[in-house]
Amino acid sequence: MNLGLVLLAMAAASVSALTVSSSCYLALTSGYAILVNASQPCFTNYTTNITRYTTTAGCYSKTQAYNATFCDPIISGYMKCSLKVAGLLKPNGSFNDAAFKSTMLQNKCSSPATRRTELTRNTAN
């Protein structure tokens, strides 16, 4: 379930350095907005956990290593809720790759040529 948000964050980081907005980057930013808007009810329901997560150094810190054993259970309910309301979870609770590619990325980041182009642009900067 956290895989979806991790993939989205990694994709955002990999294309954020682009000087010209590609169709993949535009789809990614649009998908991120969809996820943020869809997850608003989850934010309300999990405010206590989100606050605990963001105020715990081992969970939300650029200077300390991430403590997955401690931190993942704190944020997992919010992550699962967010992915579910965005339509990114299968009925069995596993991440729906096809929905992620079609809904969040609008199938604009799937071709090998697109990935190569994005990687080349990102590493050139």
What is the DSSP secondary-structure string of 20-86?
A: S--HHHHHHHHHHHHHHHHTHHHHHHTHHHHHHHHH-TTTS-SSS---HHHHHHHHHHHHHHHHHHT
Query: What is residue 9's predicted lDDT score, i.e. its pLDDT?
Result: 53
Asked if the structure places residue 49 within a domain, the reply is yes
Asked if the structure places residue 104 within a domain, the reply is yes
Asked if the structure places residue 53 within a domain, the reply is yes
Joined together, the tokens standing for residue 76 give 């997992």
Asked if the structure places residue 121 within a domain, the reply is no
pLDDT tens series, the chain, 125 aa: 454 554 455 555 554 544 456 888 888 888 888 888 888 999 999 999 999 999 998 898 778 889 999 999 999 999 999 999 999 999 998 999 999 888 888 888 876 655 455 445 544 44
User: How far is 53 from 46, CA to CA, in rounded Å?
Assistant: 11
Asked if the structure places residue 51 within a domain, the reply is yes
Asked if the structure places residue 100 within a domain, the reply is yes
**Assessment of whether the complete model's pTM goes beyond 0.85:** no
Asked if the structure places residue 5 within a domain, the reply is no
Query: What is residue 121's predicted lDDT score, i.e. its pLDDT?
Result: 53
Asked if the structure places residue 120 within a domain, the reply is no
Query: What is residue 50's predicted lDDT score, i.e. its pLDDT?
Result: 93
Query: What is residue 113's predicted lDDT score, i.e. its pLDDT?
Result: 56
| Domain limits for position 66 | 38-111
Domain count along the chain: 1
Query: What is residue 41's predicted lDDT score, i.e. its pLDDT?
Result: 92
